[in-house]
C-alpha cells in the first residue's frame, strides 16, 4: 500500500464551493438586496431551493463561528445577558451574533435580516430561540411542529427509502404535508417568489440520486482497509453536498468524490501507513478541532472511519416516490433527528455501521449543555458494547473551545485505544 500525501482534490473543490456559495449569497443578499432564509438543519430547505431563495443553515453558520474561534466571545455575551451557562450552545451561536450586531466580528460580516427563520420543533427550546431571534430581526418565525411516533419499527435505515409511509405513519405524514403547504404559502408571501412544482419534483429526484452516490462511496470506505479518506474530508464533502442537495452541482461533486475514493481504494492508497485500529466517532462533530480525528494515526495506527455525517445523506434523506414529491419531502424531515437520537433507532443504525466499517471501538462525544444530543446515548453505548465494540464517552462542548482540554482528551483517547481497543 501507499500513503496519501495530499487531501482529495474534491475536498478543495467542496471548500471552494461553500466559499463561493457564501460569496454569491453576500452579493445577492447584501449587495443586491435579495431575500434569504435562516433555517435549522433538519428543516425542508428544498422548498427554498426550489424557489431560488438562499438558505443559511443554522448549524453551518454555528460551525463557521466556532471554526473561526469566535464562540468564546459570543458565549461571554450570552452570560452577560443573563442566559445561564447550561443552555444549549450548538445551534444558538448565530442568534448571539445577531444580537451583537458587529459585522467586523461576525464571520463573513454577519447575517442580514432574513425573510423568515424556519425551525423544526424537536426539543422544547428551539421555538424559544427562533422567537427571540425573529424578534431581534423583526422578521417572522415559522415553526414546524413534530408529531410523535407511536412505535419504532426496527431497521429504519432499510425502510426509510421505499417503505416510508408505513415507517413514519400516515397520520403524521398527513399532518406534515399540511404544515409544508402552509410553509410554501408563507414562503411565497415572505419572499415574493413562486414555488415551482416541476423544479421541485426534479430536485427531489436529484436528492435521491445524490444519496445513491453517497451510499456507493460509503460502501467503498466501509470495506476498504486502509481507510482511503480521512473522516474530516468525508465530512467536508458530504456536508457540502447536503447543503447543496437537489442541485446538479451536488450530483457532479458526489460523483467525483466517489470516483476519487474508489481510485484510491483500488490503488491501495490509505491515509495511515500502519492502520491497525478503526474507530467510529459518535454524536456531534468536533467542529473547532477536526484535526483531532487524525491525532492517533502515527502513534497508534488508529483511524476514525465513520461519523453520522458520513452517510446520513444516503440513509436518511433518500425518499423514493412516484407521484407525490411533497409527501416524500414530508417523510424526509418528519423523523430526521429521531433517527439519530432515539434509543433503539440510534443504536441499531450505529451498530450496523460498526459492523459494516469493521470498527474496533467508538468514541462518543456527549455535548455539555445540549441534552438533546445526549439522549439515546446510554442505550447506544450498551448496544455497541453488547456487540463487542468498546465505547469511550467524552463529555465536552461541541462548539465552545474554551472548555476543551486538548491534551487531556488526547490522553484519554490514547489510553482507551491502548487499554480497551487494542488490548
Partner 1 sequence: MAARDDLHAAYAARFDLPAERGACIGCITQTVPLELVLAAGLRPVRLFPDPSRPPTRGDRYMEAEIDGEVRSLFDRMVAGAFAGLPLVLLPRMSEPHLQLHYYLAEVRTWEPEADIPPVQLVDIMQTAFWSTGRYVRARLVELADRLGGIGEPVTEDALRAAIHTVNRMRERLQALNALRRESRLKGSDLYRATALFGALSPGEFLSLTEALAADPGPKAGDAPRLMLSGCQQDDPSLYELIEAEGVHVAADDHVTGERVFAHLVDPAADPYDALAEHYQLHAPGLRQYPQKTLDDRFLAICRDARVDADLCVLNAGDDTLGWDWPGRRDRLREMGIPSRLLIAQDDFRPDRAAQTSALAALLQDAREGAA
Is residue 255 involved in binding partner 1 (CB under 8 A)?
no
Among 19, 68, 128, 162, binds partner 1 (CB under 8 A): 128
Least distance (Å) between residue 115 CB and partner 1:
19
Q: Which is nearer to partner 1, 67 or 342 (CB)?
A: 342
Q: Is 91 helix (H, G, I), strand (E, B) or coil?
A: coil
Is residue 77 involved in binding partner 1 (CB under 8 A)?
no
Is residue 86 involved in binding partner 1 (CB under 8 A)?
yes
Q: Which stretch binds partner 1 (CB under 8 A): 28-36, 160-168, 174-182, 415-423?
A: 174-182
Is residue 408 involved in binding partner 1 (CB under 8 A)?
no
Q: Which stretch binds partner 1 (CB under 8 A): 75-83, 156-164, 206-214, 307-315?
A: 75-83
Could you tell me the three cell numbers for 172?
Answer: 403524521
Is residue 283 involved in binding partner 1 (CB under 8 A)?
no
Kindly identify the residues of this chain, within the stretch 330-359, that bind partner 1 according to CB under 8 A. Answer: 342-344
Least distance (Å) between residue 42 CB and partner 1:
14
Is residue 84 involved in binding partner 1 (CB under 8 A)?
yes
Kindly identify the residues of this chain, within the stretch 14-73, that bind partner 1 according to CB under 8 A. Answer: none
Contact, 38 vs 56, CB < 8 A?
yes
Q: Which is nearer to partner 1, 80 or 323 (CB)?
A: 80
Q: Which stretch binds partner 1 (CB under 8 A): 2-10, 297-305, 363-371, 396-404?
A: 363-371
Among 63, 375, 389, 413, binds partner 1 (CB under 8 A): 375
Is residue 393 involved in binding partner 1 (CB under 8 A)?
no
Alpha-carbon span 60 to 360, nearest angstrom: 30
Contact, 81 vs 99, CB < 8 A?
yes
Q: Find all residues with CB under 8 Å of 292, minimum gap 6, and list them.
A: 286, 406, 409, 410
Least distance (Å) between residue 345 CB and partner 1:
9
Site string for partner 1, 133-172 (x = CB under 8 A): ----------x-xxxxxxxx------------------x-
Q: Which is nearer to partner 1, 218 or 381 (CB)?
A: 381
Contact, 251 vs 330, CB < 8 A?
no
Could you tell me the three cell numbers for 196?
Answer: 415551482
In the block, cell 422544547 appears at: 124
Alpha-carbon span 253 to 246, nearest angstrom: 12
In the block, cell 424526509 appears at: 332
In the block, cell 451510499 appears at: 215
Is residue 87 involved in binding partner 1 (CB under 8 A)?
yes
Alpha-carbon span 416 to 395, nearest angstrom: 15
Is residue 377 involved in binding partner 1 (CB under 8 A)?
yes
Q: Which is nearer to partner 1, 103 or 344 (CB)?
A: 344
Alpha-carbon span 318 to 333, nearest angstrom: 11
Contact, 357 vs 389, CB < 8 A?
no
Q: Is 306 helix (H, G, I), strand (E, B) or coil?
A: strand
Q: Which is nearer to partner 1, 149 or 190 (CB)?
A: 149
Q: Find all residues with CB under 8 Å of 188, minimum gap 6, and list them.
A: 51, 194, 195
Which stretches of 197-241 are assigned E, i.e. beta strand?
A: none
Alpha-carbon span 384 to 19, nearest angstrom: 38
Number of residues in contact with partner 1 under rule CB under 8 A: 44
Q: Which stretch binds partner 1 (CB under 8 A): 19-27, 84-92, 158-166, 282-290?
A: 84-92
Q: Which is nearer to partner 1, 20 or 87 (CB)?
A: 87
CA contacts within 13 A on the Cβ side of 247:
17
* Residue among 152, 128, 131, 151 at smallest CA distance from 141: 131
Q: Which is nearer to partner 1, 232 or 283 (CB)?
A: 283
Could you tell me the three cell numbers for 195?
Answer: 414555488
Q: Find all residues with CB under 8 Å of 383, minimum gap 6, and list them.
A: 347, 348, 350, 351
Is residue 185 involved in binding partner 1 (CB under 8 A)?
no
Q: Would you tell me which residues interact with partner 1 (CB under 8 A)?
A: 81-84, 86-88, 121-125, 127-129, 131-132, 143, 145-152, 171, 175, 178-179, 182, 342-344, 369-372, 374-375, 377-379, 382
Amino acid at each position: 500500500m501507499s500513503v496519501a500525501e495530499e487531501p482529495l482534490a474534491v475536498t478543495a473543490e467542496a471548500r471552494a464551493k461553500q466559499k463561493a456559495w457564501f460569496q454569491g449569497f453576500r452579493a445577492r443578499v447584501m449587495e443586491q438586496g435579495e431575500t434569504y432564509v435562516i433555517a435549522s438543519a433538519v428543516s425542508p430547505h428544498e422548498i427554498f431551493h426550489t424557489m431560488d431563495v438562499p438558505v443559511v443553515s443554522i448549524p453551518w453558520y454555528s460551525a463557521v463561528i466556532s471554526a473561526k474561534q469566535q464562540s468564546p466571545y459570543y458565549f461571554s455575551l450570552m452570560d452577560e445577558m443573563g442566559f445561564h451557562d447550561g443552555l444549549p450552545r450548538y445551534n444558538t451561536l448565530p442568534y448571539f451574533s445577531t444580537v451583537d450586531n458587529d459585522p467586523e466580528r461576525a464571520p463573513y460580516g454577519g447575517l442580514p435580516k432574513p425573510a423568515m427563520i424556519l425551525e423544526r420543533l424537536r426539543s422544547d427550546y428551539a421555538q424559544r430561540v427562533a422567537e427571540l431571534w425573529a424578534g431581534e430581526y423583526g422578521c417572522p418565525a415559522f415553526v414546524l411542529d413534530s408529531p410523535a411516533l407511536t412505535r419504532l419499527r426496527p431497521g429504519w435505515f432499510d425502510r426509510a427509502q421505499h417503505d416510508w409511509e408505513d415507517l413514519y405513519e400516515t397520520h403524521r405524514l398527513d399532518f406534515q404535508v399540511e404544515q409544508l403547504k402552509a410553509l410554501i404559502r408563507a414562503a411565497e408571501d415572505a419572499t415574493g417568489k413562486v414555488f415551482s412544482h416541476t423544479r421541485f419534483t426534479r430536485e427531489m429526484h436529484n436528492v435521491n440520486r445524490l444519496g445513491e452516490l453517497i451510499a456507493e462511496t460509503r460502501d467503498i470506505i466501509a470495506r476498504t482497509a486502509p481507510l482511503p479518506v480521512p473522516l474530516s474530508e468525508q465530512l467536508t464533502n458530504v456536508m457540502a453536498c447536503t447543503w447543496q442537495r437537489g442541485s446538479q452541482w451536488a450530483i457532479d461533486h458526489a460523483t467525483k468524490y466517489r470516483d476519487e475514493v474508489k481510485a484510491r481504494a483500488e490503488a491501495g492508497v490509505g491515509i495511515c501507513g500502519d492502520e491497525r485500529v478503526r474507530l467510529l466517532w459518535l454524536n456531534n462533530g468536533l467542529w473547532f478541532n477536526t484535526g483531532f480525528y487524525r491525532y492517533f494515526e502515527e502513534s497508534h495506527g488508529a483511524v476514525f472511519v465513520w461519523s453520522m455525517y458520513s452517510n446520513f445523506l444516503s440513509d436518511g434523506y433518500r425518499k423514493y416516490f412516484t407521484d407525490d414529491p411533497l409527501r416524500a419531502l414530508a417523510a424526509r424531515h418528519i423523523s430526521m433527528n429521531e433517527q439519530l437520537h432515539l434509543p433503539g433507532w440510534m443504536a441499531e443504525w450505529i451498530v450496523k455501521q460498526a459492523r459494516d466499517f469493521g470498527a474496533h471501538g467508538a468514541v462518543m462525544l456527549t455535548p455539555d449543555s445540549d441534552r438533546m444530543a445526549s439522549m439515546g446515548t446510554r442505550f447506544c453505548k450498551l448496544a455497541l458494547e453488547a456487540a463487542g465494540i468498546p465505547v469511550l464517552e467524552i463529555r465536552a462542548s461541541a462548539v465552545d473551545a474554551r472548555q476543551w482540554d486538548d491534551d487531556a482528551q488526547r490522553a484519554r483517547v490514547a489510553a482507551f485505544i491502548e487499554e480497551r481497543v487494542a488490548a
